[in-house]
Amino acid sequence: MGSNMNDVKSLQETNLDEEGDQEFELEDVDDGDEEEEVEEYVTLGLVEKPKNPKFLLRHLFPSKAGGVPAWLDPVDLPQEKLRICGFCGEPLQFLLQIYAPISEESSTFHRILYVFMCPSMSCLLRDQHEQWKRREDNPCRSVKVFRCQLPRCNPFYSSEPPKRDGIDKPLTLGAALCSWCGTWKGEKVCSSCRRARYCSEKHQAMHWKSGHRNQCRQNVNYSETSSSSPDSSSNRLPAVGKVACSTLWPEYEIIIEDECAFDAEAFEDNNCATSLVPKNMKTDDSYQFMLDKFEADENKRTWASFQERIAKCPKQVLRYCRDPKAKPLWPLSIGCPSVANIPKCNYCNGPICYEFQIMPQLLYYFGVRNDPDSLDWGTIAVYTCSASCGSSISYKEEFAWVQLYPTAPMT
C-alpha cells in the first residue's frame, strides 16, 4: 500500500509538468453522488380516471384523489375544529386518501389515511411557518392528515372481501354529509326546507347563492306532498356524484405500482460511446474549477437526484414507503425537517415516522391554475405514528410537512 501512495504523489508532481505520460487525472474532490444509496422498496401511486365512479365508494376501500372522501368510519367524522383551515377558517378541501393496511396487527386490518388541504396558496405560505413550531405552541395548520383504522370485524362492513360485482353494500348508512362539499358531516340543516344539510355556515351561504335559493322552495313543497322522509327512502348506497360544489378537485383513482417495475432497461452499448475517449489525453490540472455553477451546489444536486428518481415514472403522484429507515425524496435541500422538527404522536406519545409523500405532479392532474396565487408545492411528506395507535377517536390527526419551492426572485 505504501508504494501505491508514493506512486500517487509522483503522479501528482508530473501533472504540473503537463507531460502526457499518464492519461488520467486524479480527483481529490468527492462528488456527492458517490455513495450507492440502498434503494428502498418504494410503492408509487399513479392517478387514473376511474372506470366507474361506483368503485370509489367507501365499502370498496378505495385509494382516490380529488372529489369527495370515502370515509372509512362513516359515523364518527372529524369534529368542527379539525375541519377548518387554521388561517382563513374555511372548511378544508379533500386532497387524497390511500388505503394502507398494516398486516401485522389485527386492529389495522383496514386503515386509510386522508389528506385535506386549504386550496388557498396564501394559507399554505403561512402554514410553512407553522410546521416548524413545536407542538406545545399549538400550531394551526392548513394541511391536515387523518388516520382511521378498523379491525376486520366491525359494525360498518362485512368481514368478507367485497366481490366488486356492483351489488356490494356497506352494512350501515353513514352520517349525512354536507350538501355543498360532500366532505364533512352535515350537522346543520337548512331551516326552511330541512332537507339540505351543511357542515358550516360558509357552505350554507355558498349553496344558497348558487341555486338552493330556488330549490329550497320546491323541496318544501315536495316534502309536504310525500309522506316518507328522504333519509329512510334512500337505499344504503351512498349517492354518487351528487355534490353541489363545483370547485372540488377532479376525482381520480390512485393506481398502485411498484417503483422497481419501472427500473430503466440497460443502457445502450458502451462500446460505441467509449470510442469517443481519445487515445492520448493530456492532463488537466484545473479540475478543481469544475465545481461551480455548471456542476452543482447542494440545492441543485438534490434537485438533480430528485429529477433522476422521478424520471423512472414521470406520472407518479405519490411515493409510499413505510420502512423505518425510509426517507422522503426531497426536491430541494432547503426546508427539510430535522429529527427535532418531527413531533411525537398526539395520542400515544410514541415516535412518528415517514410514511408517504405527495408529489407536485398531482397539481398538473388536478388542472390547478397557474396564477401567481394558485396552489403549488414541492412535496408534502406525511409522518404517521409508528405503532399506528388506536384510541377512542376514529380519525386521528397525523403530521404533514410541506416543502414549497422558493418564490422566484423579483426582477
Partner 1 sequence: MAERGGGDRGGFGRGFGRGFGRGRGRGDRGRGGRRGGGRRDEEEKWVPVTKLGRLVKEGKITSLEQIYLHSLPVKEHQIIDTLLGGRLKDEVMKIMPVQKQTRAGQRTRFKAFVVVGDTDGHVGLGVKCAKEVATAIRGAIILAKLSVIPVRRGYWGNKIGKPHTVPCKVTGKCGSVTVRMVPAPRGAGIVAARVPKKVLQFAGIEDVFTSSRGSTKTLGNFVKATFDCLMKSYGFLTPDFWMETRFTKSPFQEYTDLLAKPTKAILLENTEVVET
Q: Does 101 bind partner 1 (CB under 8 A)?
A: yes
Which is it for strands 252-258 and 93-99: parallel, antiparallel or unpaired? unpaired
Using the contact rule CB under 8 A, the part of the chain among 179-187, 198-206, 216-224, 358-366 near partner 1 is 358-366
Q: Does 162 bind partner 1 (CB under 8 A)?
A: yes
Using the contact rule CB under 8 A, the part of the chain among 78-86, 194-202, 214-222, 313-321 near partner 1 is 313-321
- For residues 211 to 230, the per-residue mask of contacts with partner 1, x marking binding by CB under 8 A and - elsewhere, is --------------------
Closest to partner 1 by CB, 105 or 187: 105
The Cβ of residue 194 has, within 10 Å, a number of other Cβ atoms equal to 14
Q: Does 10 bind partner 1 (CB under 8 A)?
A: no
Q: Does 201 bind partner 1 (CB under 8 A)?
A: no
Longest dimension (CA), the chain: 103
d(CA 264, CA 248): 36
Q: Does 35 bind partner 1 (CB under 8 A)?
A: no
Using the contact rule CB under 8 A, the part of the chain among 128-136, 140-148, 234-242, 279-287 near partner 1 is 279-287
Q: Does 256 bind partner 1 (CB under 8 A)?
A: yes
Site residues (CB under 8 A) for partner 1, limited to 41-80: 41, 43, 45, 60-63
CA 271 to mean position of chain CA atoms: 42
Question: Cα dihedral sign for 61, 89, 338, 336?
Answer: positive
d(CA 247, CA 278): 60
Cell of 140: 394551526
Using the contact rule CB under 8 A, the part of the chain among 134-142, 235-243, 264-272, 390-398 near partner 1 is 264-272
Q: Does 331 bind partner 1 (CB under 8 A)?
A: yes
Closest to partner 1 by CB, 24 or 338: 24
Least separation in angstroms between residue 407's CB and partner 1 is: 7
Give the type of residue at 181: C
Q: Does 145 bind partner 1 (CB under 8 A)?
A: no
Q: Does 328 bind partner 1 (CB under 8 A)?
A: no
d(CA 22, CA 14): 9
Query: Would residue 241 be called left, alpha or beta, if left means φ above 0 and alpha means ψ between -120 and 50 degrees?
Result: left
Q: Does 160 bind partner 1 (CB under 8 A)?
A: yes
Q: Does 119 bind partner 1 (CB under 8 A)?
A: no
Q: Does 309 bind partner 1 (CB under 8 A)?
A: no
Closest to partner 1 by CB, 305 or 341: 305
Listed in sequence order, the residues at least 6 apart from 74 whose beta carbon sits closer than 8 Å to its beta carbon are 58, 156, 170, 172, 173, 174, 175
- What is the number of alpha carbons within 13 Å of residue 152 lying toward its C-beta? 9
- Per CB under 8 A, the list member of 361, 387, 390, 393 interacting with partner 1 is 361
- Per CB under 8 A, the list member of 223, 243, 262, 342 interacting with partner 1 is 262
Using the contact rule CB under 8 A, the part of the chain among 139-147, 158-166, 209-217, 224-232 near partner 1 is 158-166
Task: Give me the phi and psi of 256, to 5 degrees please.
Answer: -105, 130
Helix (H, G, I), strand (E, B) or coil at 358: strand
Q: Does 95 bind partner 1 (CB under 8 A)?
A: no
Give the type of residue at 207: H
Closest to partner 1 by CB, 178 or 404: 404
Using the contact rule CB under 8 A, the part of the chain among 174-182, 208-216, 217-225, 357-365 near partner 1 is 357-365
Q: What is the DSSP string of 389-403?
A: ---S-SSEEEEEEEE
d(CA 231, CA 6): 88
- What is the number of alpha carbons within 13 Å of residue 271 lying toward its C-beta? 1
